Copies of this chain bind each other. A is one copy, B any other.
Amino acid sequence: MKPRRTIADVARLAGVSTATAGRVLGGYGYAAEATREQVLKAAHELGYRPNALARSLITGKTRTVGVVTGDIQNAFYASILRGISDVLGQHGFGLLITNSDENLEQEVRAVELLLEKQVDGMIVSPCDTRGAQHLRGLAAAGVQLVLIDRAVAGLEVDRVLTDNVAAAEHSVAQLIAAGHRRIGIVAELVGEPRGQVADFIRRVQRGTLTAADPLYPSWQRLWGYVRAHQAAGLAVDPALIRRAGVYAPDAARVQTHLLLDLAAPPTALFATDGTMSEGVVRALSDRGLDLPRDLSLSCFDDLDWMGFYRPGITTAAQPRLAMGEAAAHLLMERIDGATVPFRSVVLPAELIRRGSVAPPA
């Protein structure tokens, strides 16, 4: 095992001090042209490679960012990660990733690991939108934080979100416009007590819910669903609101079957994200239902298959890549020392109309 060469080795060979060798190799401070060439030559001969650890220990900067998201296997997070990775790459930053599996304990451990590794900043999709003690004080401690996909109550840091309420309202309004009156919604709706749904709907209807409420995306999308009904003067039937409770396609599949088994089944379905969409379509596939003849469907997130699953799935496409890029840009600015007030980047989801929506039979 050949020993790694250090600045001292290079300096010795070049006949200069380590300070001088460091200056040319590290690109800081001055060096005469002749000296710089000698050093570079020596470094090249020895196959010198800087040790980022030593540098970071002194500068207090690692040029590394940590990300904690639910599950990198999920297309939503995978794209976000790609967007983040692209921007960080341009800045020469490294990317440390972790999965929380939407579990607070794991998330806390992940943040702890990233902190010990001295990341300059982190991008997190928090699984707890209220407490999140482990995320507070990070910025004050010199570790920049940007939230993605979800906000946290009272945590004023940069964040990038999708305009979920508007996108859901638009999606459901489109179904109503096509003539649907009984629209089923399949959503995760995690993080609140079971009985909350009815109360939540009442609050939306009375307008006592405010944008300041730190809601999970699926609750915001339910909000949009209720608003679309309100706008159209339609009553909301609680039986059509199905709660999966977890981020798993199979839970959505089960709820969809329950919905379709109703005495008065819905004529259209709204799935609130990619995971739910997959489960809903699985259920429709199980039943051999023909879209949009037997049922209309509007999804959320534009997954690969939605473009070619016949007749083409209409969906609200979140700009996943752009979300990751935006988060990374915000973070890079903070790490570069920007001290502007915290920013909330809210990106629109685009309704892509394909073939899965038609008037009810």
Contact = CB atoms under 8 A, between A and B. Distances in A.
Interface of A: 1-2, 4, 49-54, 56-57, 62, 64, 71-73, 75, 78-79, 81-82, 85-86, 89, 92, 94-99, 112-118, 140-142, 249, 278, 281-282, 285, 288, 303-305, 307-310
A315 B7 CA distance: 54
A141 B98 contact: no
B62 A73 contact: no
A82 B89 contact: no
A85 B98 contact: yes
B75 A72 contact: no
14 contacts: A52-B116, A53-B53, A53-B118, A54-B57, A71-B82, A72-B78, A73-B79, A75-B78, A85-B97, A85-B99, A278-B304, A303-B304, A304-B305, A309-B309
Contacts of A78: 72-73, 75, 78
A102 to B, nearest CB: 14
B304 A285 contact: no
A244 B353 CA distance: 30
A56 B95 CA distance: 18
A51 B116 contact: yes
Nearest to A321: B73
A96 B99 contact: no
Contacts of A114: 94
Nearest to A62: B53
B98 A89 contact: yes
B56 A53 contact: yes
Given A53-B118, A95-B96, A72 B62 contact: no
A115 B81 CA distance: 22
B309 A282 contact: no
Contacts of A64: 96, 117
Contact of A52 (B72, B118, B304): B118
Given A78-B72, A82-B71, A308 B282 contact: yes
Most buried by B among A79, A92, A113, A288: A113
